[in-house]
Amino acid sequence: MSYPSDTPNHDTSDLLKNVHFSSHSSDPLPEAPTASDLLSSTYDPAKLHPMASLGGQLDYLVLDDDKTSDLPGSGTAIPSRGWSDDLCYGTGTMYLGGLALGGAWGFREGASRPLAVSNARLRINSILNSVTRRGTFLGNSAGVLALGYNGINSTIDAVRGKHDAFGSMLAGAITGALFKSTAGVKPALAAATIVSASAGMWSWVKTRV
């Protein structure tokens, strides 16, 4: 950029009028992309992204949360993602089911219990006592049975390499026997039979629904 000779008599406006610019570089300026370049197929829009040059250098996190168990025989009406899935959901479902069933049992027992004095407050107190007693009893018992059954059943399936009704019935028999083992031989055998039959029926229902 060159300026004319500066004199004190020239003001700023005259100075700017006489200024001219010249390029000292002989290289041509790069042309900016036009609208036609952006719409044409030869222009790569990925170059506009700041991470477009990474390509295949990115490591992606693969989540298998929705992957179900690939154990032979595990493809039933209720899909499972593994032993931890069965343990958590099975125990929680049985506990809540036992709690609800025990609560209904306690409500009926408390509502039909004879009282020395017919009073609404005493009746409500009787119902609440029965609900809390029966509900917690059945809920805790069902939760413990489900916890033991799912743990033993998953172990049997891992050892045998497959899941079927026979493994479930064996797990039910072991769970029932352990649950009533402190009550004697006969109660333990009765509990083993009941839990084993229930496990076999549950396995049959899962494959037929």
**pLDDT tens series, the chain, 209 aa:** 445 555 555 566 676 667 666 655 555 656 666 766 666 655 565 666 666 566 556 666 665 555 655 565 555 656 666 677 778 888 889 999 999 999 999 999 998 888 877 788 888 999 999 999 999 999 999 999 999 998 898 888 888 877 788 888 999 999 999 999 988 899 999 999 999 999 889 888 877 76
Residue 49 within any structural domain of the chain: no
Q: According to the model, what pLDDT value does residue 38 have?
A: 62
Q: According to the model, what pLDDT value does residue 76 have?
A: 62
Q: According to the model, what pLDDT value does residue 156 have?
A: 87
Q: Tell me the β-bridge partners of 20.
A: 2
When the pLDDT of each residue in the chain is averaged and rounded to a whole number, the result is 77
Alpha-carbon distance 34 to 149, whole Å?
Answer: 70
Residue 109 within any structural domain of the chain: yes
Q: According to the model, what pLDDT value does residue 208 have?
A: 72
Q: Residue type for 12, please?
A: T
Residue 98 within any structural domain of the chain: yes
Determine the structural domain holding residue 131 and report its residue range: 81-141
Residue 14 within any structural domain of the chain: no
Residue 172 within any structural domain of the chain: no
Q: According to the model, what pLDDT value does residue 63 have?
A: 56
Residues with Cβ within 8 Å of residue 75, at least 6 apart in sequence: 68
DSSP state of 86: H
> How many domains is the chain partitioned into structurally?
1
CA 80 and chain centroid, separation: 12
Residue 106 within any structural domain of the chain: yes
Residue 9 within any structural domain of the chain: no
Residue 16 within any structural domain of the chain: no
Residues with Cβ within 8 Å of residue 106, at least 6 apart in sequence: 127, 129, 130, 131, 132, 133, 134, 135
